Amino acid sequence: MRIDLHTHSIASDGTQSPADVVASAAHAGLDVVALTDHDTSSGWAEASAAADRLGLRLVPGVEISCLLRRVSVHLLSYLHDPTDGPLTRMLTGSRTSRESRARLMVDRLSPDTGLRWEDVLEHVHGTATIGRPHIADALVARGVVADRDEAFATLLSGRSKYFVPQTAPDPVEAVRRVRDAGGVPVIAHPAASKRGSCIGDVDIEAMVEAGLAGLEVDHRDHSDAERSHLRDLARSLDLFVTGSSDYHGTGKRNLLGENTTDPESLQRIDELAAATSPSQGAGSA
C-alpha cells in the first residue's frame, strides 16, 4: 500500500486542481493520498469525488500556518470536521492575514520591480489561500526571476528586505483546535533546518501535551541526521511518524510518492479520528 499524506492544489499554492492532484496520485501508483492545502479545506469535495471515481482513498487534511517566537511551524490536520466553528475561524483569520501580508510585500517590491497587486491576483485561483508562491509566479510572469525557486532564493526569502512575516496562531493552540474539531494533528517537516529556524524538542513536547499525534519524518527537506533524530523523538514521545512528498504540482520539485507513510501510521490516524468525538472536545493525547 502506497500512502502520501501531504499535497497541495490550486486551493492554495499548488499548480493542479484538486481532481488533477488525485488523478496524478493514481498515475503515480498511490493507493492513498491526502490533500493538505494551506489553511483551507476548499478542495476537499472535488478531490473526494475524483478519488471515488479513480478508486483511491482521499484523506482530507489541511496544513495550518503557525508561529512560535517568530519561527514558522506547519501543522497538518487530518480528518477534522470542516464545519467546526473555532477551527474554521482560525483558518479564516490566517487566510485574511496572509492576504494583508502579501499586499505589504507587493508594496515593498513594487518600486523596484513594477509588481502590482493585480499581477499577483492573476495567479490566485478563486478563493485560494494566498502565499509567497503566488507573488513568485507574478514575478516570473514579469520576467523578474526565472522560477519560484529563484524568487524564494532572492526577493522572497526570509532575509530579503521585501519580506514581511505572517501573523499566525500559536502551534499549541492550533493542536487544541484540531483535536477539538476531531482531527489528528501532525507537525509537517518539523526539523527542516534548510527552510529556516525550527522549533525545539521542548516545544514539540508542549504540543504533545496538547494532543499532538505524529511527526512528518520522511520529507525531502530533512537530512538523514534530522530524520533519525525525529524518529528517536517520536519513539520517546509515543508519536507515529509519516512520510510525504509535499507535492505542489509544477510549483516545486517534490514528486508524488517520493516519500510514503506506513499503513500502521495511517491506522493510528484513523483510530484517533474515530475515537475523537468533536462534541466531546478531546484535548489530551
Task: Provide the binding-site residues for ligand AMP, judged by CB under 6 A.
Answer: 13, 38, 131-133, 148-149, 152, 166, 248, 251-252
- Which residue in 233, 241, 246, 256 binds Zn ion (CB under 5 A)? 246
Q: Which three cell numbers stand for residue 151?
A: 524568487
For residue 27, give the nearest of 183, 213, 247, 252 by alpha carbon: 247
How far is Cα 202 from Cα 70, in angstroms, rounded to an integer?
Answer: 16
* Closer to ligand AMP by Cβ: residue 39 or 81: 39
Beta carbons within 10 angstroms of residue 279's beta carbon:
8
Each residue 50-69 as x (binds Zn ion by CB under 5 A) or -, in order, gives -------------x------
Write the CB contacts of 166 (distance below 8 Å, at least 6 apart in sequence). Answer: 65, 67, 72, 94, 97, 98, 101
Number of residues that bind Fe ion (CB under 5 A): 3
Stretch that binds Fe ion, among 74-82, 90-98, 122-130, 160-168 (CB under 5 A): 74-82
Q: How far, in Å, CA of 254 to CA of 256, rounded? A: 7
Q: In angstroms, what is the minimal distance from the CB of 251 to ligand AMP?
A: 5
Q: How many CB atoms lie within 10 A of CB 190?
A: 26
Residues listed for the chain: 285
Q: How far is the CB of 253 from ligand AMP (least distance, A)?
A: 8
Minimal distance, residue 101 CB to Fe ion, in Å? 15
123 binds, among Zn ion, ligand AMP, Fe ion, none (CB under 5 to 8 A by kind): none
Site for Fe ion in 165-224 (CB under 5 A): 188
- Would you say 46 or 63 has its CB closer to Zn ion? 63
Residue type at position 226: E
